Amino acid sequence: MTTAVLPAGAATAPRSAPLGRLLGAELTWVLRRPRTLVMLGVLALIPVVIAIGVTVVGGDVPGPRGGPGLIGAIAGNGLVLPVASITLALALLLPMAVTTAAADAIAGEAASGTLRGLLLAPVGRLRLVVMKAFGVLVVATLAVLVIAVAGLLAALVVVGSADGQLVTLSGTTIGLGEALGRVLIMVVWTVGQLAAVGAVALALSSLTEHPMVVLASVLGGLIVFGVLSAIPALDWLQPYLLTSGWTAGADVLRDPMVWDGLVESSLRALCYTAVGGGLATYRMLRRDA
């Protein structure tokens, strides 16, 4: 019995490609897609458009500066721009970018018939999920970084900053180095939130062969979350909703910094990531080729 198993196992056991090569292949595949590049370009335009809007329009209006929201805090205080742009994009554009990538990753391949090849290839199913998740995470990170960098550049070139400092929402000023650190915290936190969106999208992506279904479900779900959190009678739902922690991004602009909201929303995102990632893996492990 044992002797019979060993040769059979040796013959059929897939020779796994190294993980590094798989991830590299996925990276090239994701980054070569025109839609990814176009999307990154559009995201880079957000801070530029805001900067021009605030400077050109806001500069001519007499009277006190500012206004409600983070946008109002940008005038003459450019270092707010990256944070404000990311906050704005996190509402819908960034989740859309990540969901598109996740929808393409599995459902898109199933729709075009290439998933069959991947499932039959000598790549473990778990590795396949890791590879696809990595691709989605790269898109999320790039998307946030593009906004942050474009925001910083637009801040320096178009808006200008208050003597090279950042005026916090609390009315204090912090230096350039610390301000860049705050932007970095914002980037890391946002990537964490997008990882949660991406994991859920990946789970849906593994359940269907239609990428549009994934996109519609995730974006529809985000809108439903927004509606639910606006209903006072459903207050008790708030701690379960991913989106309810998304106002915490503005906390990086407070001084002294408040960590509670950022940590809590990150933990919530981690839970969503576990649920989404677990379901995606569960589904892919039993999926027929």
Partner 1 sequence: MTAQDKTSGQGTTGRRVAAGVAVAGAVGLGLLALPGGAGAAPELPPVSAEELVSSVLTADIGAFDGTVELDNALGLPALPGMPQAADGDSTARVWSDGEGRGRVQLPTDSGERTLVSDGETFWAWNSEDQTVHTAPADGGPAERESAVADPTAAATEALDALRTSSDVRVDGTAEVAGRAAYELVLTPAASERTLLREVRLAVDAEHRVPLRLTVLANGSTEPALQLGFTELRFGPQDASLFTFTPPPGATVEPAPAHAGPMAGKPERLPDGVEPTVVGDGWDTVVVASGGDLAGALDDPSREGRGEGRPNIDLSALGTPVSGPWGSGTLISTAVASAIITDDGRVAAGAVPEQVLTEALGQ
User: For binding to partner 1 (CB under 8 A), which residues are involved?
Assistant: 1, 5, 8-9, 12-13, 63-70, 72-73, 75-77, 87, 125-126, 162-163, 165, 167, 169-173, 239-240, 247, 250-251, 254, 258, 264, 267-268, 270-279, 281-282, 285-286
Radius of gyration of the chain (CA): 22
To partner 1, the closest distance from the beta carbon of 40 in angstroms equals 26
**Nearer to partner 1 among residue 36 and residue 205 (C-beta):** 205
The dihedral through the CA atoms of 261, 262, 263, 269 has a sign that is: positive
Shortest distance (Å) from residue 151 CB to partner 1: 16
Q: Which is nearer to partner 1, 112 or 170 (CB)?
A: 170
At position 120, the amino acid (one-letter code) is L
Cα(145)–Cα(147) distance, integer angstroms: 5
Q: How far apart are CA 133 and CA 181, in angstroms?
A: 27
Question: Long-range CB contacts (< 8 A, 24+ apart) of 283-287?
Answer: 283/203, 283/206, 283/207, 284/106, 284/125, 284/128, 284/129, 284/206, 285/125, 285/126, 287/119, 287/125, 287/206
Smallest separation (angstroms) from partner 1 to the CB of 275: 4
Print the SS3 string covering 206-263.
Answer: HHCCCHHHHHHHHHHHHHHHHHHHCCHHHHHHHHHCHHHHHHHHHHHHCCCCCCHHHH
Q: Within its chain, how far is the Cα of 286 from the centroid? A: 28
118 or 279, CB closer to partner 1?
Answer: 279
- In angstroms, give the least distance from the CB of 31 to partner 1: 28
CB atoms < 10 A from the CB of 153, how many? 17
The DSSP secondary structure of 133-157, one letter per residue, reads HHHHHHHHHHHHHHHHHHHHHHIII
For residues 106 and 132, is the Cβ–Cβ distance under 8 A? yes
Minimum Å gap between C-beta 88 and partner 1 is 11
Cβ proximity to partner 1, 141 vs 173, nearer residue: 173
Q: Is the peptide bond before 18 cis (omega within 30 degrees of 0)?
A: no
Query: CA-CA distances (angstroms) from residue 149 to 40, 56, 137, 180?
Result: 12, 21, 18, 11
Q: Select 28 or 238, whichever has its Cβ closest to partner 1.
A: 238
The residue among 125 and 210 lying less far from partner 1, judged by its C-beta, is: 125
Q: Closest approach of Cβ 187 to partner 1, in Å?
A: 19
Q: How far is the CB of 268 from partner 1 (least distance, A)?
A: 6
Amino acid at 79: L
Closer to partner 1 by CB, 129 or 215: give it: 129
**99 or 244, CB closer to partner 1?**
244
The distance of closest approach from Cβ of residue 283 to partner 1 in the complex, given in angstroms and rounded to an integer, is: 8
